[in-house]
């Protein structure tokens, strides 16, 4: 088993320490690397943190758009992609994903209910699921709703693509250690 995650951001983040504490190697991938057609990396998973589309926090969105085809191939070939909330009012924040996903920004606590016995129920285990900080929801999407508010507002959307999986969440919390270990480790790394 191999455990290797790419954390996509402009500068190093504390999030990388959490990933490493869960037993995975974590490589920071900045926008210049991501957008470059010459840079290559091999990962089990890629993570895009909260606020990626907000220009006050990050310049990652243009690089994600430039790497759209490589991201799709990464997932189709078995990679895992976890994308958090855009962190601002941008309906086009997820237009680089290979399926339709609209985002509505609205920060605040929400009750979270997982759909059935999903393997993603461990994503936020240990949190009070009646008051989880979220930065929005996904009013329309081309995936499967894996978690929502009791009123049906989608907070976690999954989409299988080829041999891989994309998870998009507006939950504004670090994932659980159990989930990060499972998500970051796999039988093989996929070329990005």
| pTM score over 0.85 | yes
Q: Which tens digit of pLDDT belongs to each residue from 132-161?
A: 999 999 999 999 999 999 999 999 999 999
- Percent with pLDDT over 70 in the chain: 99
Nearest-5° angle of CA 71, CA 90, CA 147? 70
Confidence check: pLDDT of 118 > 90: no
3-state secondary structure of 146: strand
């Amino acid at each position: 088993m191999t455990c290797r995650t790419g954390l996509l951001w402009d500068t190093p983040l504390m999030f990388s320490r959490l990933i490493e504490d869960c037993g995975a190697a974590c490589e920071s991938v900045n926008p210049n690397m991501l957008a470059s057609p010459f840079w290559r990396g091999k990962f089990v998973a890629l993570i895009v943190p909260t606020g990626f589309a907000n220009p006050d926090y990050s310049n990652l969105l243009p690089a994600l758009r430039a790497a759209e085809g490589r991201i799709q191939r990464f997932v189709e070939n078995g990679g895992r992609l976890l994308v958090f909330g855009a962190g601002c009012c941008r309906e086009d924040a997820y237009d680089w994903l290979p399926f339709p996903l609209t985002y509505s920004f609205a920060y605040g606590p929400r009750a979270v209910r997982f759909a059935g016995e999903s393997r993603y129920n461990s994503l936020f285990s240990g949190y009070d699921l009646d008051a989880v900080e979220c930065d929005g929801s996904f009013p329309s999407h081309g995936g499967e709703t894996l978690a929502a508010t009791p009123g049906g507002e989608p907070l976690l959307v999954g989409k299988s693509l080829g041999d891989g999986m994309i998870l998009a969440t507006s939950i504004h919390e670090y994932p659980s250690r159990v989930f990060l270990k499972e998500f970051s480790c796999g039988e093989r790394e996929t070329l990005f």
